[in-house]
């Protein structure tokens, strides 16, 4: 499940709320959309330390793309994404936590 947060001050509250609900920080990816557009054709070694990247089957070593690039239905160019891998039976609780913490958009895969 992925939350688009437009208020970066609320991201920490969301992460804390998810951790208090029993989810581990290692199951979360946090990525800034403002920086995602600036990352094309960068050295993967430099970029890897700054933001979350995913590698797809068609990506070569120098074609690493930002995490936000692989999210269907995401039309935003600004904000911070908080993605959480969670079991399906927890999805409604996670959605509720994301809504309570000010998520502008929630994408469930």
Nearest to 31 by CA among 62, 69, 88: 69
Q: For residues 36 and 14, what is the distance between their CA atoms, to the nearest angstrom?
A: 21
pLDDT band at 12 (very low <50, low <70, confident <90, very high): very high
Strand segments (E) across 1-109: 2-5, 28-32, 53-54, 65-66, 80-84, 105-107
Beta pairing class for 65-66 and 53-54: antiparallel
Q: Is 63 helix (H, G, I), strand (E, B) or coil?
A: helix
Query: How far is Cα of residue 87 from the mean position of the Cα atoms in its chain?
Result: 17
Beta bridge partner(s), residue 106: 3
pLDDT digits (tens, 9 = 90+) for 16-49: 999 999 999 999 988 887 655 554 445 555 554 5
Q: pTM (2 decimals)?
A: 0.67
Q: In angstroms, how far apart are the furthest CA atoms of the chain? A: 39
Q: For residues 53 and 96, what is the distance between their CA atoms, to the nearest angstrom?
A: 27
Q: Tokens 């700054």 appear where?
A: 50
């Amino acid at each position: 499940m992925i939350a688009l947060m437009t208020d970066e001050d609320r991201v920490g509250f969301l992460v804390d709320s998810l951790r208090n609900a029993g989810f581990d920080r290692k199951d979360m990816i946090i990525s800034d959309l403002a920086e995602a557009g600036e990352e094309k054709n960068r050295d993967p070694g430099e970029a890897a330390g700054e933001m979350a990247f995913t590698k797809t089957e068609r990506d070569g070593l120098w074609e690493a793309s930002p995490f936000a690039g692989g999210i269907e239905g995401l039309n935003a160019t600004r904000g911070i994404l908080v993605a959480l891998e969670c079991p399906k039976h927890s999805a409604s609780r996670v959605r509720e936590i994301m809504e309570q913490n000010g998520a502008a958009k929630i994408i469930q895969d």
